[in-house]
């Protein structure tokens, strides 16, 4: 068989094998067998040394044509196999777009933060500013500057987390008030502020107490401030939190930083003050919501404010307690267990 016939036979055999190839690896094997450095075409061309000068260019051209034809068929077969594999993959991975999609729960603001933001919006509307203090506070500002000196009995009411002799985790947000008061310029107007934030006390965790909870304290200092201003402000708070039908009452109490001091009750939201067989208010018709009073003159003096010229009122309320009352929650720990079944009940308004 001449070299020309051998090359034609190689081309025919290679094309037949390519048409039968079912995988790209089989195509690659064919390429190596026929066009590789030690392939059939190369082996045939080694016999060109025995050809006459006239036959060599003819056989050389034929060899190039055979190589180009086989290479073209290889590329064509690879493209076909690739498309077949892609079609098979698409068929196996077809998505039924008529099936319902996977639903995801939408995040919402925690109920405690909802109450805090509601209170903040209320006071912003009344011209107050919001001042956030330090959760790690000095003993001086946490106690002494609000009229609770060392060895004062009131310190026993607040079992405190001390960091060292001078620093502690604040037991109330009150420390923010003297810090703000001593920097305030009364020539620019009265001081009206609230200070929201987390506070910490070594309370035993139970249904109504937690070692960490939230507090919002308010302070108003100006000339000619009276108890009636405090009562009117707290009435607005009660109506905004619990509804227009609710009233408040003030009962005498004691706090070191206010004089006189009062406990503030709101009409029971369950029995509406009828006090008949009500487990929420224990048949009293009232529910305690916060403490308040007129700022003690000594607190003003320690901040460099003349108590004969200026006066004011202060109050402190717990968003956790308000949330419990508004939604009739019997255990404060529900707010902190991250149970989505519980928390998802409290959808944000609007």
Annotated binding site: 259
Q: Are strands 167-169 and 191-200 parallel, antiparallel or unpaired?
A: unpaired
Q: Which residues are annotated as a binding site for Mg(2+)?
A: 259
Q: Which residues pair with 315 in a beta bridge?
A: 218, 292
CA angle 193, 198, 204 (to 5 degrees): 135
Which residues, at least 6 apart from 142, have a Cβ–Cβ distance to it below 8 Å? Answer: 168, 170, 171, 172, 174, 175
What is the C-alpha separation between 264 and 245, in angstroms, rounded?
16
Give strand pairing partners of 193: 129, 219
């Amino acid at each position: 068989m001449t070299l020309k016939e051998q090359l034609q036979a190689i081309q025919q055999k290679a094309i037949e094998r390519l048409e039968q190839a079912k995988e790209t690896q089989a195509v690659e094997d064919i390429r190596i067998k026929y066009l590789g450095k030690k392939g059939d075409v190369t082996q045939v061309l080694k016999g060109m040394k025995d050809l006459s000068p006239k036959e060599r260019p003819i056989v050389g051209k034929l060899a190039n044509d055979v190589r180009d034809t086989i290479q073209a068929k290889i590329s064509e077969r690879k493209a076909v196999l690739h498309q077949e594999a892609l079609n098979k993959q698409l068929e196996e991975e077809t998505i039924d777009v008529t099936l319902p999609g996977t639903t995801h729960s939408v995040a919402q603001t925690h109920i405690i933060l909802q109450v805090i933001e509601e209170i903040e919006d209320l006071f912003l509307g009344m011209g107050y500013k919001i001042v956030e203090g330090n959760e790690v506070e000095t003993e001086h500002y946490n106690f002494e500057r609000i009229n609770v000196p060392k060895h004062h009995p009131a310190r026993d009411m607040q079992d405190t987390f001390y960091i060292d002799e001078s620093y502690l985790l604040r037991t109330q947000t009150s420390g923010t008030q003297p810090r703000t008061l001593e920097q305030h310029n009364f020539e620019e107007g009265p001081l009206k502020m609230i200070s929201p934030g987390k506070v910490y006390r070594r309370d035993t965790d139970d249904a109504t107490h937690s070692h960490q909870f939230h507090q919002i304290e308010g302070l108003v200092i100006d000339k000619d401030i009276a108890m009636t201003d405090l009562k009117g402000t707290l009435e607005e708070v009660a109506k905004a939190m619990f509804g227009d039908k609710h009233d408040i009452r003030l009962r005498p109490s004691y706090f070191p930083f206010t004089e006189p001091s009062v406990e503030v009750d709101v009409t029971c939201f369950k029995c509406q003050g009828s006090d008949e067989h009500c487990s929420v208010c224990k048949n009293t018709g009232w529910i305690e919501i916060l403490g308040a009073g007129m700022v003690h003159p000594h607190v003003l003096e320690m901040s460099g404010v003349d108590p004969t010229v200026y006066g004011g009122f202060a109050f402190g309320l717990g968003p956790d307690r308000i949330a419990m009352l508004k939604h009739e929650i019997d255990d404060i720990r529900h707010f902190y267990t991250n149970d989505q079944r519980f928390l998802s009940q409290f959808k944000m308004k609007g």
